[in-house]
Amino acid sequence: MTIKEAKAEVALFMKRTYDRGLTTATGGNISMRFGEIMLITPSGKDKGSLTADDIAEVDLATGENLTPDKKLSIETDMHRSVYLKRGDVNAVVHSHPVFACLFTASEEKINTTLIAESYFLLDEVEKVPYRLMGTPELAEAVAEYAPDHNALLLENHGAIAFGKTLIAAFDRLECLEQAAKLTYLSHAVPTRGINKEERDRIAQMR
């Protein structure tokens, strides 16, 4: 894959995130590891109409903006902190899905045991304590949780998901929002989650 093709993929998945109602016009950000460079969506642009030419480049080791004509996302440090902590992660998706965001402001946890897919992809979803968006403190907090999780809630903020590929990270984010919605709806319908024995079997499939 060329860097141009990689940038086009980042732009495509940002558009998918917006088109599926998982973020607002200028909210959220997506990145991809490309060798020693991080490709990331810019700040202040319509996330539903990005192209490869809009995607910024950042030196992973130093954090330097290699495309100074582009304004970096305020969450660049958060994305970079995940890559520095997780060598197996090549893509990060951060957005503000409605139902997941509801649970970022609640003491209740998202129940990932209602369907097998969410437990398989997400295990249990933890919440990163509130840190102001776009700050080094938020980046540090996410980095602390990243080694043990592939999807996280950010208290009073949003959600973030990681993966070896963009489709894997996006799939986790979409599954997280589905699990949040199911948890919310489960208050209206009697439900039962997958039992411990079956959860253990699912865990062995990861």
Q: What are phi and psi of 22, to 5 degrees?
A: -90, -5
Please report the pLDDT score of residue 73 as a whole number: 96
For 3-204, CATH gives 3.40.225.10
Catalytic residue among 9, 57, 75, 177: 75
Please report the pLDDT score of residue 191 as a whole number: 93
Annotated active-site residue 75? The verdict is yes
List, for residues 5-44, the tens digit of each pLDDT value. 999 999 999 999 999 999 999 999 999 999 999 999 999 9
Task: Identify which of 107, 132, 117 has the alpha carbon closest to the alpha carbon of residue 177.
Answer: 117
| Inter-residue contact 161 to 126 (CB < 8 Å) | no
In this prediction, residue 145 has a pLDDT band, given cuts at 50, 70 and 90, of very high
Q: Region 95-119: what's the mean pLDDT? A: 97
DSSP per residue, 2-58? -HHHHHHHHHHHHHHHHHTTSS-TT--EEEEEETTEEEEPBSSS-TTS--GGG-EEE
Q: Where are the domains positioned within the chain?
A: 3-204
Over pLDDT 90: what percentage of the chain?
A: 96
Read off the DSSP letter of residue 163: E
CA distance 43 to 36: 22
Please report the pLDDT score of residue 68 as a whole number: 96
Please report the pLDDT score of residue 14 as a whole number: 98
List, for residues 44-103, the tens digit of each pLDDT value. 999 999 999 999 999 999 999 999 999 999 999 999 999 999 999 999 999 999 999 999
